[in-house]
Amino acid sequence: MKIAGVGLLLAASLILADAAFAAPPDREQIERGRKVYDKWCFPCHGTGLGKPGTESLAARGQKPAVLAERTDLTSPMITQFVRHGVLFMPTFRKTEISDADLDAIAAYLTRNNKQ
């Protein structure tokens, strides 16, 4: 239990740090992120039929289920899922999505978060 508690605290502090100190990403970075997202994430997490990632989040009750419409994602959360996967979603290597591309995806997916 203690370990789980520490993990949660750490995650919370990362999220807060991200929200509190990250400078707003610039337009160019968001546009780059959109392109990377469209290539790597949209086929599973996009809109329309046949998107198992969207379907899975919807079945869990997540609203909105399409990642690009969310306003509660953070950079550490996105990194966690891309680099560690979850359930049937695999990990993505740095030859697929580089650290710089991952930063760009985070800029795109957090573009509508309240500052």
Residues that bind another protein (CB under 8 A): 39, 43-44, 48-53, 55-56, 58-60, 83, 85, 87-96
Report the residue number, 25 or 54, with the smaller CB distance to another protein: 54
CA distance 43 to 38: 8
The answer to whether 33 and 108 have CB atoms below 8 angstroms apart is yes
Report the residue number, 7 or 90, with the smaller CB distance to another protein: 90
Report the residue number, 65 or 73, with the smaller CB distance to another protein: 65
Least distance (Å) from another protein to the CB of residue 86?
9
Least distance (Å) from another protein to the CB of residue 89?
8
> Hey, is 21 helix, strand or coil?
helix
CA–CA–CA angle 85, 11, 1 (5° rounding): 95
